Amino acid sequence: MFVVPPLAGRIARYVGIALACMLFVALLLLWIAASMPRSWWYWSYMREAESYVLQFEKFKTEHGYYPDEDNQKIVELSESNPYFYESDGKQYCVGFSVGFDDTYRFCSTTKKWTYGSGPNPFRHEKAPQ
């Protein structure tokens, strides 16, 4: 019969405890990062989106209408980009998403930022003249 010397058993136990502690710390750090307020992302996204608002207003001043959703070059629209832009030429909404459910939107009809997802406010209304 094979007998494990006491020293080898102790080392194996210490290695196991060290690995368990490292796993626990890694999971704790992941949990802290996931529950951290998203304010860092929020403020950087908000600053960028506000710059888009200024650019869309400048575009309208120069051309008389807001840029088309598909042809505009101000907001890069992609799956990896948190920003979005929607327009019918007479009004627009621009915004961003933080995480899965936190959506912030600025619309030219209200001229203020709103929180929450949902349909574009002007998609179901007649455009202003």
pLDDT for 39-90, tens place per residue? 667 888 899 999 999 999 999 999 999 998 888 889 888 888 889 999 988 9
Q: What is the 3-state secondary structure of the chain? A: CCCCCHHHHHHHHHHHHHHHHHHHHHHHHHHHHHHCCCHHHHHHHHHHHHHHHHHHHHHHHHHCCCCCCCCCCCCCCCCCCCEEEEECCCCEEEEEEECCCEEEEEECCCCEEEECCCCCCCCCCCCCC
The whole-number average pLDDT for the span 98-115 is 86
- What pLDDT is attached to residue 13? 84
Q: Is the pTM of this model over 0.75?
A: no
Dist CA 108 CA 5 (whole Å): 77
Give the per-residue pLDDT at 32: 74
- What pLDDT does 121 receive? 60
Query: Bigger pLDDT: 29 or 120?
Result: 29
Reply yes or no on whether the pLDDT at 22 is more than 60.
Answer: yes
The pLDDT > 70 percentage for the chain reads: 78
Q: Which one has a higher pLDDT value, 9 or 67?
A: 67
